[in-house]
Amino acid sequence: MSITDTPPAGEQQPELPPPATPETPAVDGPPAPRRALHPALRAGAAVVAAAVLGVGIGVGILKTRYQDDAEPIAAAGASAAPSASAAPSAGASPAYGAQSNGTHFGSMRDLLLPLPDGHRLGPDAGSYGNDTELTEDQRKSWVEDQVRGLPAKLQDALRKGWETTPLKGGGVRSFVPSGDNYVVTVWLLQYHQDAVKADAAWNSVLGSDSGLFRLGPRVPGHEKASCFLPAARPGDKIDRLVCSAAVGDLRVAMEVEGIAPLPKDKAVTLFSSQLDRLALPGASA
């Protein structure tokens, strides 16, 4: 599920697990999506999971010095400590946030976690940039990225799934700390709420029950969020952490890639802050 790089031609594109359709029933635990998903989607998830294992950004990219584009954002007041939610003001009508029915409003760039203190914008996430609200054309391109490298019949099934559950909005932001020892990429994907919830639950099943991944840390205050780590060989110098959650009509995905060992506690704090920023009114977690 590499969301920081576009792999070379001919390689499978490891990405987020395939979407469920709006008819997928809402679930409160991981077993339900396993029963609800179409066999083609389950097969696609297995292909994606297998592809994830061999992907890493490499030490070279971690030591590349990127142009510091963070200053304009920081000057606009977007910088925030990892533990701060930077939620919209309760006074005037907020520019972004969530309605009680779970629908988020405002730009994806506002909904994304602002650059944490001590971080700057990182490398581009494939062709999508490093601080982007996806246009309609980019959303269509994103769907094509999900199916690239899969068998033709499976590609057709997945495209039909996205036609039924269109991607209504999307955004991505990447950032690196001053030490350049890891890259964080956060994606927000907005589509049908039931499908978002089913996708997140299926992703949790894939990470915990497939045997292909190591279990990752829990996200305090967000019990339905899931984090896991692709299998690693002894002596591997690069490690990855992938976290996913559903918040209303938004699928939230974060990938951290860097020099082992990863600062998993810091990564989980960042993910928790992103989820807090998107919290639905009245939600306790």
Q: What is the 3-state composition of the chain as percent helix, strand, coil, each rounded to the nearest 5? A: 30, 20, 50
Quick one: pLDDT at residue 234?
78
44-82: pLDDT as tens digits: 443 444 333 222 222 222 333 233 333 333 323 334 444
The answer to whether residues 161 and 18 touch, using CB atoms and an 8 Å cutoff, is yes
Which of these ranges, 147-156, 221-230, 243-252, has the smallest mean pLDDT?
A: 147-156
Contact criterion met (CB below 8 Å) for 186 and 24: no
Please, what is the angle between helix 136-147 and helix 152-164, to 10°? Answer: 150
Residue 283's pLDDT is 62
Task: Please check whether residue 111 is in contact with residue 170, taking contact to mean a CB–CB distance below 8 angstroms.
Answer: no
Average pLDDT of the residues in 202-209: 70
pLDDT at 28: 42
Q: What element of type H or E holds 258?
A: strand 250-259
Residues 173-189, mean pLDDT to the nearest whole number: 94
The answer to whether 146 touches 16, Cβ cutoff 8 Å, is yes
Average pLDDT over residues 12-24: 41
262-283 pLDDT per residue, tens: 999 999 999 999 999 999 986 6
Residue 197 has what pLDDT?
87
What is the rounded average pLDDT of the residues 6-20? 42
Structure token digits, residue 132: 């982007």
List all residues 6 or more positions away from 193 whose beta carbon is below 8 Å from its beta carbon.
26, 102, 103, 248, 249
Q: Which residues of 104-138 are buried (b: 16+ CB within 10 A; e: fewer)?
A: beeebbbbbbbbbeebbbbbbbbebbbbbbbeeeb
Q: Mean per-residue pLDDT for 79-103?
A: 68
- What's the CA gap between 89 and 108, in Å, rounded? 17
Residue 174 near residue 125, CB atoms below 8 Å: yes
Measured N-to-C along each axis, helices 39-52 and 193-209 cross at an angle, to the nearest 10 degrees, of: 50
Tokens, residue 93:
């009508």
